[in-house]
Amino acid sequence: MANSLNELVYIDDSGFHLADFEDFLEFNKQALRDIYGQDINLDADTQDGQLCAHFAQSQYDLGVLCGAVFNNYSPSTARGDALSREVKINGIARQGATHSSADLVITGAAGTTIINGQARDTLQDSHLWELPPEVVIPVNGSITVTAVCADEGEIRAPIGSITRIATPTEGWTGVTNETEAAAGREIETDAELRIRQTTSTAQPSQTIVKGVLGGILDLTGVTRAIVYENDTGATDENGIPAHSISAVVEGGDAHEIGAAIKMRKTAGTGTYGTTSVTVTDSEMVPMVVCFFRPTVAHIKVKITIEPLTGFTSELFHNIQEQVAAYVNSLTFGQAVRISKLYVPANLENDDSDISYDIEKIEIARDGGALKTANIPIGFNELAHCDVSDVEVIADA
């Protein structure tokens, strides 16, 4: 039994330690026995026992508070506002909710200036996409700019769906999105911020690739990114040219991304991707920087189950939600594997999984035929699945 509170709450080389509530209760009981005698009745239904428990609960709660304060001094354990304050030492801040963004190819007469331009998509729930405050079409008659959706949230726009000019301007003749829009997001979670804080510390150290990635992830609006490097003298299996890097970036402003890559990459290293922007250095020398916007692979899942005793219709939606969440958690280049889908489809850590048996899982990509085969995902692709894309049927 502890002889002092220092044995119940303490900090050593391995971190913060807090004893169980029962240890605090026994500590207080022994203190009262030492004062009033060993025969004092400290049962839970006595006044002395209740007072003893009150003291123990107060001490234990204070210990919990001390633990929270101790943990809030480290980005790996801090939470909420404390974590937001901790990461400032790394020069980053928690990202708020964002709007969807799309790289638009603006075409028209050379020299045309578009002021506060807007485009509109052709989707059923139409949305406005706001161009930068001023866009000047260059001599080649085309320029790529990043437009931001006027409405906040996860708004998706497939390739070729943003084609309407909402603010007619003389000389502006066309607009389209050659890549799928990067969906907006809710405010950054603690887990996401911890990952970004860890990556951000690599900017001044480790490898150049890590530094480029850290610089990209620190940009406003960037939700996910990865940087590939081909340091060989030949084109690699992903098509990345020799001695080049290729970044795949979801969200963020295209020109800011290009500037971050240019500032951190080594001299002579090429860049590869389907999105290209022109950035200038301090001497106003232009350079074209290329990177990828992720191609979204739309996944459809069909799950056939055999209902057993205790099965309820509510489980249909639960299965849909967990399967969709798993697919959306996959990162760049991660294949959608049939075997992995059985875990979320079985509602892991949920006792309800005993009320049904999974007979078959089929998956398809981009409207293709459903098959019981894995779906490969390219290095510059992301798998996405809406809850409505998961079909759960009961085999009669």
Using one digit for the tens of pLDDT, what is the confidence trace for 232-273? Answer: 989 999 999 999 999 999 988 999 999 999 988 888 899 999
pLDDT of residue 67: 85
State whether 390 and 301 are in the same domain.
yes
Q: Give the residue from 291, 312, 339 where a domain finishes.
A: 291
On whether residue 324 sits in a domain, the answer given is: yes
Regarding whether 339 and 272 lie in a shared domain, the answer is no
Residues 171 and 116 in one domain: yes
For residue range 209-224, what is the model confidence (pLDDT) as tens digits? 888 888 898 888 888 8
Enumerate residues 6+ apart whose C-beta is below 8 A from 23.
1, 2, 8
The answer on pLDDT for 204 being more than 70 is no
- 313 and 370 in a single domain? The answer is yes
Query: Quick check: 89 and 127 in contact, CB under 8 A?
Result: no
Residue 121 shares a structural domain with residue 53? no
Predicted local confidence at residue 143, as pLDDT: 92
Taking each helix axis as running N to C, give the angle between helix 314-329 and helix 338-345, from 0 to 180 degrees, rounded to the nearest 10: 140
Share of the chain above pLDDT 90, in %: 47
**Residue 353 region by backbone torsions, left for phi larger than 0, else alpha for psi between -120 and 50, else beta:** alpha
Rank 96-100, 109-113, 198-202, 204-208 by mean pLDDT and report only the highest.
109-113
pLDDT at residue 396, as a whole number = 63
300 lies in some domain? yes
121 against 285, higher pLDDT: 121
Give the whole-angstrom CA distance, residue 101 versus residue 250: 9
The arithmetic mean of pLDDT across residues 1-13, rounded, is 81
Task: Judge whether 79 lies within some domain.
Answer: no
Cα 231 to Cα 245, 305, 333, distances in angstroms:
8, 48, 20
Per the prediction, the chain carries an average pLDDT of 87
Q: Rounded to whole angstroms, what are the CA distances from 32 to 40, 51, 202?
A: 8, 10, 55
pLDDT of residue 291: 95
How many residues in total does the chain contain? 396
- The answer to the question of residue 141 being in a domain is yes
Residue 83 inside a domain? The answer is: no
The amino acid at residue 343 is V
Q: Among 6-15, 269-278, 290-299, where is mean pLDDT lowest?
A: 6-15
Q: Which tokens go with 217? A: 């992830």
Task: Give percent of the chain above pLDDT 70.
Answer: 96
Reading the block at residue 32, the tokens are: 């009262």
Quick one: 248 and 281 in the same domain? yes
Summarize the confidence of residues 115-135 as an average pLDDT. 92
Measure Cα distances from 58 to 1, 33, 118 in Å: 19, 19, 60
What mean pLDDT is predicted for residues 330-346? 92
Q: What are phi and psi of 314, to 5 degrees?
A: -60, -30
Q: Is residue 184 part of a domain?
A: no
> Which whole number is the average pLDDT over 108-133?
93
Q: CA dihedral in degrees (106, 108, 114, 119; nearest 10)?
A: -40
pLDDT higher than threshold 60 for residue 206: no
Residue 283 has phi, psi (to 5 degrees) of -95, 10
Out of 162, 177, 192, a domain closes at 177
Residue 352 has pLDDT above 80, yes or no: no
* CB burial string 220-254: b at 16+ within 10 A, e below: ebbbbbbbbbbeeeeebeeebeeebbbbbbbbbbb
Structure confidence at residue 1 as a pLDDT band (50, 70, 90): low
226, amino acid identity: I
Residues 213 and 287 in one domain: yes
pLDDT of residue 186: 75
> Does 185 map to a domain?
no
Of 293-302, 330-339, 352-361, 379-388, the least confident: 352-361
Domain annotation covers residue 115: yes
- Same domain, yes or no: 39 and 63: yes
Domain that residue 336 falls in: 296-394
Whether residue 388 sits in one domain with residue 337: yes
Q: Which of 17, 51, 71 is the last residue of a domain?
A: 71
Number of domains in the chain: 4
